[in-house]
Structures are given as structure tokens and as C-alpha cells.
Amino acid sequence: MNYMIESLRQLLGLDPSKPGPDDRRQAVVTLMTEKRREKLTREMLHAAEAGRALAADRHKWRNRRWATLITLNLLFVVSYFFDVQLLEGALTASRFVGFHLADLNSALQVMLAYEHIVLNLVIGTVTVFIIWLLLGGRTFCSWVCPYHLLAEWAEKLHLWLAKRKWARDIKFHRGGRTVFYVFFILLTLVSGYTLFETLSPTGILSRALIYGPGLALVWVLALLLFEVFVSRRAWCRYVCPIGVTYGLVGVLSPVRVQYRVQDCHHEGDCRAICLVPHVLDVTIRGRARDLTTDMGADCTRCGLCVDICPTNSLSFKVKGLDKVL
């Protein structure tokens, strides 16, 4: 129950709750006392970092994610170009070997706009819901969305420019994403038009890859330039309602990133690289309530924190199973 409440708080844009003195389990208090007595030396930490940097799997999850994202989007292109009817349509609505699939946010927009429920849309929505319920709600954002990949590369450029004072990183309140979510729903109800689908860089890029580029790509370029020079990952962090929709599914998902406070001796790198760093606030010294903590549903399961952690205190877990992925 605490996991669900904390996940919903973060999805709504609220800061993660901080534990009071009575909220931490005795095992955590004892562990932190022992860690203060037996603190790792700087040399040991540097050795752990060096070992992690040389490890063959230091980009394991990033490489898997990029390969999956590119392959899935190319399947649409290949199916259309060669007319093989394997994966037809685009990310907003498609058919896999004739079986309907519908993006949850797009389906919601269509149902609200036309005030009519089509059977194929229901089938496609239920199928996609089950898929992301099993894999993890916001997994869609980092493992499928083509804009996420471009934004990730743009972020690298942003960080390079920011070091040289050529770019800024203005932060906005994360609650703005909830406001935009409600705004697009109300606008769809009032206008009967799915305006968000016109503005969504996810849909624009998916259709451009499959059917060819159009003027809408100018909007995508403008978003990327804004993120490079003004606000890091602004669209995904502060605007996109797709993340909220899939995050709500993620509350129920068994696939999660788990944090083990006992193994954590090197605070900070994971949060610095994370798209949604607030979900990793538990890694701040003194924030852990339990020996193990599952990251909230706003986590995109991108695996960057798992790759970068030199002491393997973060890992993918399936709730109910002991095996580390």
C-alpha cells in the first residue's frame, strides 16, 4: 500500500515523502550505524568505480533498451515498405499480425473525442494494458518511444553545453504534467478533437519514420532545441501525459528497479543520470525506510542507474521472485 501511495504522489508531481525517525525499521538504523563505523575508504570507492567502468556490462541495460527501441520502430518501417503486414500502423494504433494494439493514452483521447467505443479499440487497449502491466508501465517511455531516444541524445549535448555555460537547465514544477494531463482531457471533451495527438512528438516521429517526414517535424525539432539549450528533458518531465497514463499502469506492475541500502556506498551518480531523479531520492543517505525499496511507478525502467552503480545496489527485480534480472 505504501508503494502505491508513494507512486501516485510522485506521478502527481509531489516530492517523495521523507521518513521520520520512527518510520525507519530497526534493521536500517542498525545498518546505517555500522556503515558509519566501517565507512569505505576513498581508495576502495575509486577501485569500485574503476572496476565498474571496465566491466563489459557497464552499458548492458542501455544497449538492450536502445536495440529494443530501434528494432520495434524499424518493424513498422519494414512492414510498411515491403507490405508484409507484420506490424502495421504506427505507435498510436497498430496491428501485429492482424491483432489490434492501441496506445493507452491515444485510445483514451479517441474515446473522449468521439464519445463512442469501438470493439477493435477496446481489444487493442486491453492487450496493450496487459503487456505494460506485466513489463512495467513507464517502460514504454524508455524502451519504445522514439522521442525518448532523441531526447536522451539531446541530453548528452545539453550536458556538454551546460559545462561550458552555453546552455541553461531551468527546472519547472513536476505537477505541471498533471495539469497538462487534465487540460488535454478537457480540451478533447470540449472540442471533440484529439489535439494532443497532433502535438505528440511520439506520434509525429512514428508516422514520419513509416510514411515519410512532414512539417510536424519542425515542432519536434523545436522541442529538442528547447531541451538542449533551456530545460533538460522538459517534454518528458513536465508535459507529456503519456508518462502519466503508463505510470498509473506501472503502479500495478511486478517489474521494478530495487534499491538495497546495504550495498550502497556511493551516493549520487544514479540520481545525476536519471530521467526522473526524484524516484531515486531513497538513495540519499538517511532516506531509506527498509533494507530494500522498490522504485516508484514514475520510474521508466531505463536501467541507467543499474548500469552506473559501482556497488550493484540497484537492480531489476520481479515482485514475488528472488531472481535479479
Of the candidates 68, 132, 258, 228, the one whose C-alpha atom is nearest the C-alpha of residue 220 is 228
Is residue 208, in this structure, part of any structural domain at all? yes
* Rg of the chain in Å (alpha carbons): 21
Full domain range(s) for residue 242 = 62-248
Q: Residues 158, 297: one domain?
A: no
Q: How many CB atoms lie within 10 A of CB 5?
A: 12
**The last residue of a domain, from among 201, 225, 248:** 248
Q: Residues 93, 217: one domain?
A: yes
Q: Residues 192, 261: one domain?
A: no
The total number of residues written for the chain in this structure: 325
Q: Residue 54 above 80 pLDDT?
A: no
Q: Residues 43, 71: one domain?
A: no
Q: What is the pLDDT of residues 121-169, one digit of tens each?
A: 888 899 999 999 998 889 999 999 999 999 999 999 999 999 999 999 9
Task: Specify the higher pLDDT residue, 32 or 92.
Answer: 92
Q: What is the pLDDT of residues 193-239, one digit of tens each?
A: 888 989 999 999 999 999 999 999 999 999 999 999 999 999 999 99
User: How many structural domains comprise the chain?
Assistant: 2
**The last residue of a domain, from among 248, 269, 285:** 248
Angle at CA of residue 301, ends 216 and 7, nearest 5°: 100
Q: Residues 53, 73: one domain?
A: no
Is residue 324, in this structure, part of any structural domain at all? no
**The last residue of a domain, from among 195, 217, 248:** 248
Is residue 224, in this structure, part of any structural domain at all? yes
Burial class (CB in 10 A: 0-12, 13-18, 19+), 32: middle
Is residue 139, in this structure, part of any structural domain at all? yes
E strand map for 164-281: 255-260
Over the chain, what is the mean pLDDT?
88
Say what the pLDDT of residue 41 is. Answer: 61
Is residue 214, in this structure, part of any structural domain at all? yes
Is residue 135, in this structure, part of any structural domain at all? yes
Q: Residues 300, 314: one domain?
A: yes
Say what the pLDDT of residue 307 is. Answer: 92
Alpha-carbon span 186 to 262, nearest angstrom: 46
Cα–Cα distance list, 164 to 168, 170, 229 (Å)? 10, 16, 12
